[in-house]
Amino acid sequence: MSSLPQETTSAMEMAPNSVTRNGVTIDDTFAEAFPMKATRVLITAHNETWARHAAVAMTGFATSVIACGCEAGIERMLGADETPDGRPGASVLLFSMSGKELAKQLERRVGQCVLTCPTTAIYAGLELGQDQGEAIALGRNLRFFGDGWQISKMIDGKRYWRVPVMDGEFVAEETTAMVKAVGGGNLLLLARDTDAALAGAEAAVEAMRAVRGAIMPFPGGVVRSGSKVGSKYATLMASTNDAFCPALTPLARRSELDADTRCVMEIVIDGLTEADVSAAMRAGIAAIVARGAAAGVTRISAGNYGGKLGPFHFHLHTLIGEGAA
């Protein structure tokens, strides 16, 4: 299921106010997002291969706060001229619903996936003074793995821990900054078939990944199991979004789809700021529009709760410059 369950207005209600760009219909609706807590960390290693291994492991099983505890992703890979120790690296973003949960997830993931990875070091990716955040532990507690052999070093007012390990030492900055963030931005891509939906989603995600400060936490940046609020089963908080399930088009009470739409893919976006989410969504829409309806994605929509979930509303028509929606 997606980051949080979604409800949407019916296609019949949207159609009169939709706009068309290069043959692609863009619904007059909005993605509804919610407050989260986030941090950025920088992983470095002997070469890019090992930095990527650590970053991939650290961001595993981090698609949805519903069951994973956090949502995380590789923001981008870093050149040696962009890191604190002059080695290749990766920038990783983590998001959670509370500061307490974020701190827990960060410590566990660094301890199990970065400390264990050959040649790595880890540093804060956000500055407290610049980003107005609050400090959370990065290497502060992991230092105890050194069993008393660990030592600290102060450089330019920052404390770093050096923990002896079998390939040398693991260097970890003591803390990183936690900031307020935004989660749950989304796009729904409606396509004529699976091939077209996947190609469109891949193109959109590629464009969105160029936006710094945002991640798409699901596999490949895409989720097929979009959800709605509740279920016929009392124990479930969310269930399949039947309005966007092509197999249910003739059966669903309020289907969003016509007979020519045979596949729908969703892209969920988390960002350090509202502007980051807007920029990523705008880039994704632009990528789909540039391909045109002939490429197979014929309509773009978004999921929301009618404004009841969160304070961040990303109106698709505003994003494409059609004025306030």
Task: Write out the E strands in the chain.
Answer: 19-21, 24-26, 30-44, 71-78, 89-96, 121-124, 134-137, 151-155, 158-165, 168-173, 175-191, 214-215, 227-229, 238-240, 263-271, 297-301, 312-315
On whether residue 51 sits in a domain, the answer given is: yes
Short-list 171, 69, 84, CA closest to 125: 84
**Can you tell me whether residue 242 is helix, strand or coil?**
helix
Phi and psi, residue 27, nearest 5°: -65, 150
Short-list 105, 109, 111, CA closest to 70: 105
Residues β-bridged to residue 135: 177
Percent pLDDT > 70 in the chain is: 93
On whether residue 15 sits in a domain, the answer given is: yes
Residues 51 and 157 in one domain: yes
Residues 126 and 211 in one domain: no
Residues 217 and 260 in one domain: yes
308 pLDDT band, cuts 50/70/90, is confident
Residues 244 and 152 in one domain: no
CB contact at 8 A, 28 and 17: yes
CB contact at 8 A, 226 and 302: no
As a whole number of angstroms, the distance between CA 66 and CA 93 comes to 18
On whether residue 3 sits in a domain, the answer given is: no
Residues in the chain: 325
Q: Provide the mean pLDDT of the chain.
A: 92
Tell which of 179, 198, 224 closes a domain: 179
pLDDT at residue 16, rounded to an integer: 60
pLDDT in tens, 130-169: 657 899 999 999 999 999 999 999 999 999 999 999 999 9
Residues 85 and 197 in one domain: no
Q: Of 58-67, 140-149, 218-227, 306-315, which range is least confident?
A: 306-315
Residue with tokens 């209600």: 13
On whether residue 1 sits in a domain, the answer given is: no
Residues 81 and 205 in one domain: no
pLDDT in tens, 29-74: 999 999 999 999 999 999 999 999 999 999 999 999 989 999 999 9
Q: How many domains does the chain fold into?
A: 2
Mean predicted confidence (pLDDT) in 310-318: 96
CA distances from 142 to 97, 203, 282 (A): 23, 39, 39
pLDDT at residue 230, rounded to an integer: 83
Choose between 308 and 40: higher pLDDT. Answer: 40
Q: Which domain holds residue 20?
A: 11-34+182-319
Phi and psi, residue 89, nearest 5°: -160, -170
Dihedral of alpha carbons 172, 116, 51, 46, sign: positive
CATH code where residue 300 lies: 3.30.70.520
CB contact at 8 A, 47 and 322: no
Residues 68 and 190 in one domain: no
* Residue 231: alpha-carbon gap to chain centroid: 25
On whether residue 4 sits in a domain, the answer given is: no
As a whole number of angstroms, the distance between CA 246 and CA 240 comes to 12
On whether residue 2 sits in a domain, the answer given is: no
Residues 154 and 197 in one domain: no
Tell which of 164, 179, 194 closes a domain: 179
On whether residue 5 sits in a domain, the answer given is: no
Question: Other C-beta atoms within 10 Å of 310: how many?
Answer: 18
Tell which of 126, 158, 179 closes a domain: 179
